[in-house]
Amino acid sequence: MTDQRAVIIGAGLAGAQCAIALREGGWTGQVVLVGAEPHRPYDRPPLSKDVLLGRSDSTAFDLDWDRLGVRFLLGRTATGLTGDEVLTDQGPVGYDQLVIATGAAPIALPGPVRVLRTVDDSLALRAELRPGLRLVLVGAGWIGAETATAARALGCEVTVLEGAGSPLAGALPAELTEPMARWYAEAGVALRLGAKVAAVGAHGVRLADGTELPADLVVVGIGARPDTRWLAGSGIELDGAGAVVVDDRLRTSLPGVWAAGDCVSYPSSRSGGRVTVQHWDHALQSGRAVAAGLLGADQPYDPVPYFWSEQFGRMVQYVGRHREGDRLLWRGSPDSPAWTALWLRDGALSALLTVDRPRDLAQGRRLVEKATPVDPALVADPEVPLKSAVGASAAG
């Protein structure tokens, strides 16, 4: 690889990890990291926590990029892909091997709204959050809950609007999200379910039923779409949601072009089909997996999904992927300060969600990774360590 030029489009976590792993693995050719933002790679999870709360102004990775020999082309937006060049708003960038890691772009609403995706978004939002500010958050997903948590800590009056009948609709079943809905009230946040937004104006939000909600600031957190519009006409296969379709080695439909992170749809035997994952752990792992592939490894990519969220004074962690038909078991009461929900498939753990039970997460993650059979009675007993809940067939 002495004369190969690896160009990575996207300077987020996936792109940064790919660049780092290439150098760690002995890539001696050029490594060029192209980013639309003016900033070198930084961590995004703290944006809705420490940055909003004023505990930090920067979450940049503490790395000596010059020592690594990574060249940055920042403030450049990719506009197209043709032949062996990436087109950008500041001219073409040639490559021998290309990695697409442009992530996902937040879905907004028409009108004067804010989103929280970049460090500049977070700093701008922080400058406006103050005691008594009437903040309306659209979307009771992970980012909505985290932003609501920070805003309440800063003294804002917070209302969260969710069009579905429960928070985290689509991510978790209603029996899990019902206790989570109570966290909003305990924190002094007004959660309105089944509230569909009709319009956002200078003075607030109008709902589909005609209700007017005054607001000084409206922040939208209703999801994100793969940031791949620049690939139109390139020959790169995209799915119906715009994600880059890759094989089990994270290779795209064009030779010499790979993809990683939030913009990817990859086949997962663990999940029983193609999945698109927009979480920190996947960005890190897929970026490094692409680097390994470029360096000659031939390993399929199919990790156990994992993510976490800090909200309303709780640490929520989820590992695996449950499906319809999996058996749900409770490990402790959702009315207690700490509890775990688990899913069984064919006698083994397929996923678990923990609330302030980090030991369950650590032990359960290993069981999910190995698809270890467990004893349902033991696994549902919060006093029994999960590592001791292995079924007789596995233990014997």
**Segment 252-280 mean pLDDT:** 95
| Residue 272 predicted with pLDDT over 90 | no
Question: What integer pLDDT is reported at residue 396 of this predicted model?
Answer: 37
Hey, which CATH number is domain 119-220, 3.40.640.10, 3.50.50.60, 3.40.830.10, 3.40.50.2030? 3.50.50.60
Question: What integer pLDDT is reported at residue 394 of this predicted model?
Answer: 46
**Segment 91-115 mean pLDDT:** 97
> Distance between CA 371 and CA 343 in Å, rounded?
12
Question: What integer pLDDT is reported at residue 96 of this predicted model?
Answer: 96
* CA 284 to mean position of chain CA atoms: 11
Measured over the CA atoms of residue 361, residue 363, residue 366 and residue 369, the dihedral's sign is negative
**Segment 144-164 mean pLDDT:** 97
Collapse the DSSP code of 17 into the 3-class scheme (helix H, G, I; strand E, B; otherwise coil) and give the result.
helix
Confidence of residue 1 (pLDDT cuts 50, 70, 90): low
**Segment 190-202 mean pLDDT:** 96
Thinking of the domain 313-395, which architecture would CATH place it in?
Answer: 2-Layer Sandwich (3.30)
Say yes or no: do domains 119-220 and 313-395 share a fold: no
Using an 8 Å Cβ cutoff, are 307 and 320 in contact? Answer: no
Pairwise pLDDT comparison (23 vs 176), residue with the higher score: 23
Question: What integer pLDDT is reported at residue 392 of this predicted model?
Answer: 53
Q: CB-based contacts of 319: which residues, under 8 Å, 6+ apart?
A: 304, 305, 306, 351, 352, 361, 364, 365, 368
**Segment 3-29 mean pLDDT:** 96
pTM of the model: 0.94
Buried b (16+ CB within 10 A) or exposed e, 137-171: bbbbbbbbbbbbbbbbebebbbbbbbbbebbbbee
Confidence of residue 11 (pLDDT cuts 50, 70, 90): very high
| Residue 12 predicted with pLDDT over 80 | yes
Write the pLDDT tens digit of every residue in 27-46: 999 999 999 999 999 999 99
**Segment 251-275 mean pLDDT:** 95
Thinking of the domain 6-106+224-294, which architecture would CATH place it in?
Answer: 3-Layer(bba) Sandwich (3.50)
**Segment 120-134 mean pLDDT:** 97
Confidence of residue 263 (pLDDT cuts 50, 70, 90): very high
- Report which of 204, 214, 48 is spatially closest to residue 141, judged by C-alpha positions: 48
Question: What integer pLDDT is reported at residue 339 of this predicted model?
Answer: 96
Average per-residue pLDDT for the chain:
95
Write the pLDDT tens digit of every residue in 61-84: 999 999 999 999 999 999 999 989
Write the pLDDT tens digit of every residue in 220-261: 999 999 999 999 999 999 999 999 999 999 999 999 999 999
- Domain limits, the chain: 6-106+224-294, 119-220, 313-395
**Segment 143-161 mean pLDDT:** 97
| Residue 89 predicted with pLDDT over 90 | yes
